[in-house]
A = this chain, B = another copy of it.
Amino acid sequence: MHSYKMMTQDELRTLQRELQAQYDDLKRMGLKLDMSRGKPAADQLALSMPMLDLVTSRDICLSEGGVDCRNYGELLGIPEMRKLFAELFGVRPEEVMVGSTSSLTLMFDAVARAMKNGVYGGSKPWGEQGTIKFLCPVPGYDRHFAITQHFGIEMVNIPMDDNGPDMDLVEELVASDASIKGIWCVPRFSNPEGTVYSDEVVCRFARLQPKADDFRIFWDNAYFVHTLADDAPELLNLMAEAEKAGTQDRVFLFSSTSKVTFPGGGISVLIMSEANMEHELKAITIQSMGGDKVNQLRHARFLKNAEGVRAHMARQADKLRPKFALVEEMLERELGGLDIAWWTHPKGGYFVGFHAMPGCAKRIYQLCKEAGVALTPAGATYPYGNDPEDSHIRLAPTYPPIDELRGALEVLCVCTRLAAVEKLLAD
């Protein structure tokens, strides 16, 4: 195959007819395939089923501290769950607040509190400072952007490369603009590119010198242990680096077991310095009775320790690896060398970042949709749903069974080629 960009108009027109015919055939098949959401597949969930047998009626439901997990108490979580998260993230149990099922809620609430009450060390609530801004490494996670948009926080795109966000730009912006109050980061196997922030990037985050005294790094380490390859890069411990630099109050670290055990039925966590903890708890004690301790106990017994989590995730990786391999194989086979798309090769996480020829993403999304293949909407990975290049599509290969995934990828590839040809002919 050779680059579409080298083709003559005539060649392109011939190609368009061929592709259109292929596409029409696909459309007639009445497919209904979904590659839109980062959901674990049923075979992954099955791996966590034994957890459901670990707290039963024949059991005592006491946590390590002797607290009855069935009753009120332990706002911050049971000791064994706090210890487990502490071990996983290399922090102290005192810095761990176990939440309900969803880290999204923890993030929303953290922004809500900062808006209303301000953060530790800040002189005013964010909400009383006029226009404020968040830096948004792009492409990124649409749910993050939805939160900042909901609170009227202006979003500033920050380009990403294989090492993480463009730190020269981040440093320059936060140092010069006190209205920048935060940054969204998914530092390991980023959503959607699968990027792991390099050690240098993490260190530069720890040593940031923001003009704002109330700046926070929203470190959403959602895929902290979700590796697919043995040689997947490790992530440097931001909390440890921040402590060395004396900037530990600048970090809110979020995660959950949503893609370790059950999405929506897992355990979320917010990790922060003790000064932040004390400050945030003033409002949290008014809002919350704490998470579900019975479910915490179930999780603690099932996952046991960091080693247990890693072993469990290795079993999930076995289920996921063929799907990611298929994405790579099919994209390479169908699109390689055509010069109309490139994509990421993640070693973990839930997504592949797919970059079509600029100006084609919306068209591809629409073509796929009409052929019965659901993708994450084009633009969703950018603030305000606006991908300035109209190029990026997030591929989520984990949920469909492998045959459905193959079908969806076939459609995607035909649509990508067709959209590219249309674009080249129109230009």
Please report A residues at the B interface, Cβ cutoff 8 Å. 37, 39-40, 42, 45, 48-53, 55-57, 59, 68-73, 100-102, 104-105, 108-109, 112, 116, 143, 146-147, 150-151, 258, 262-265, 283, 286-295
Contacts and interface: CB of A to CB of B under 8 A. Distances in A.
Contacts of A112: 112, 116
A263 B109 contact: no
A68 B146 CA distance: 26
Nearest to A57: B49
A57 B45 CA distance: 11
7 contacts: A71-B264, A101-B291, A112-B112, A150-B283, A150-B286, A264-B292, A264-B293
A37 B72 CA distance: 9
Contact of A72 (B71, B151, B263, B293): B263
A398 to B, nearest CB: 11
Contacts of A290: 102, 264
B104 A101 contact: no
A18 to B, nearest CB: 39
B52 A289 contact: no
A255 to B, nearest CB: 14
B68 A57 contact: no
Given A40-B71, A293-B264, A288 B52 contact: no
Contact of A59 (B52, B100, B287, B293): B52
B104 A289 contact: yes
Contact of A293 (B52, B53, B265): B265
List the 6 closest A-B pairs by CB distance, nearest first: A49-B57, A265-B294, A108-B287, A70-B262, A102-B289, A72-B263
Candidate in A42, A70, A101, A288 with the most chain B CB atoms within 10 angstroms: A70
Nearest to A108: B287
A286 B147 contact: yes
Contacts of A37: 72
Contacts of A143: 286
A52 B42 contact: no
Given A53-B57, A105-B287, A71 B292 contact: no
A51 B56 CA distance: 8
B55 A52 contact: yes
A39 B292 CA distance: 15
Contact of A265 (B52, B70, B150): B70
B263 A71 contact: yes
A70 B258 CA distance: 10
Given A51-B57, A70-B263, A73-B264, 11 more contacts: A48-B70, A49-B57, A52-B59, A53-B57, A72-B264, A100-B101, A108-B286, A147-B286, A258-B289, A263-B289, A292-B292
A159 B286 CA distance: 25
Contact of A102 (B55, B69, B151, B288): B288
Given A104-B289, A286-B147, A265 B57 contact: no
A290 B68 CA distance: 26
A9 to B, nearest CB: 46
Nearest to A109: B287
Contacts of A101: 100, 289, 291-292
Nearest to A287: B108
Contact of A45 (B42, B50, B68, B264): B68
A262 B292 CA distance: 9
